[in-house]
């Protein structure tokens, strides 16, 4: 999985060369994620005697994939996802169904507006997921990988996430 992940990260990086676009993704991706899980938080689910909601059940397969692709980045994403799932539950518990759906729709529009602005204004290129839907899963990993590389933790991924390094070594 590791080489597959590095290849996908490199392909994704080719669509994301401008640091300002990275910033739109840093905020846009979590906003979109919250928008998607928010309505799912309205539906209670009990499995094997454990109570939860549909958001929790839906997120687990994505977390497993992220962990399989790269354990360290997967764990960082888990650390980011848990507060978002909890926030979605708090919102769902305190607002009515219509309000939750309205908040989710607004967040979804804001998140995608950030993505579209980033690609339109800074990249002048369509989003990567239009060419490869797998990039819906790679996008969050790219954001986390960029952060970890910038903080000096994952220099092994610098080649994949920093287009300047890719071009210099090619």
Residue 145 has pLDDT above 60, yes or no: yes
Helix (H) or strand (E) holding 9: helix 2-14
What is the per-residue pLDDT for 168? Answer: 46
Most distant CA pair in the chain, distance:
55
Helix (H, G, I), strand (E, B) or coil at 44: strand
What is the per-residue pLDDT for 170? Answer: 45
Give the list of residues 6+ apart from residue 41 with CB closer than 8 angstroms, or none. Answer: 53, 54, 55, 85, 88, 89, 91, 92, 100
Residue 165 has pLDDT above 60, yes or no: no
Query: What distance in Å separates the CA atoms of residue 65 and residue 163, rounded to the nearest whole number?
Result: 25
Q: What is the mean pLDDT of residues 49-60?
A: 92
How do the domains of the chain map onto residue ranges? 17-125
Residue 166 has pLDDT above 90, yes or no: no
Query: What distance in Å separates the CA atoms of residue 57 and residue 107, rounded to the nearest whole number?
Result: 21
Q: What is the mean pLDDT of residues 127-142?
A: 87
pTM value is 0.88
Q: What is the mean pLDDT of residues 42-61?
A: 92
Least confident of 34-38, 54-58, 97-101, 151-155: 151-155
Decide if 132 contacts 11 (C-beta within 8 A): yes
Query: What distance in Å separates the CA atoms of residue 19 and residue 77, rounded to the nearest whole number?
Result: 21
Among residues of the chain, what percentage have pLDDT more than 90?
62
Q: What is the mean pLDDT of residues 49-67?
A: 93
The per-residue pLDDT of the chain, averaged, comes to 90
φ, ψ of residue 46 in degrees (nearest 5)? -125, 125
């Amino acid at each position: 999985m590791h080489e597959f992940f590095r290849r996908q990260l490199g392909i994704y990086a080719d669509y994301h060369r401008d640091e300002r676009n990275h910033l739109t993704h840093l905020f846009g991706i979590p906003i979109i994620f919250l928008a998607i899980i928010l309505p799912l938080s309205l539906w209670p689910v009990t499995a094997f005697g454990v109570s939860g909601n549909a958001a929790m059940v839906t997120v687990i397969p994505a977390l497993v994939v992220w962990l399989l692709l790269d354990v360290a980045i997967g764990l960082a994403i888990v650390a980011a996802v848990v507060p978002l799932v909890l926030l979605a539950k708090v919102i769902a518990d305190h607002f009515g169904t219509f309000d939750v759906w309205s908040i989710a729709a607004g967040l979804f529009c804001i998140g995608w507006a950030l993505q579209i602005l980033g690609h339109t204004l800074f990249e002048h290129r369509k989003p990567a997921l239009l060419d490869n839907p797998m990039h819906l899963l790679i996008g969050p990993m790219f954001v986390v990988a960029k952060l970890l590389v910038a903080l000096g933790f994952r220099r092994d991924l610098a080649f994949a996430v920093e287009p300047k390094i890719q071009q210099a070594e090619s």
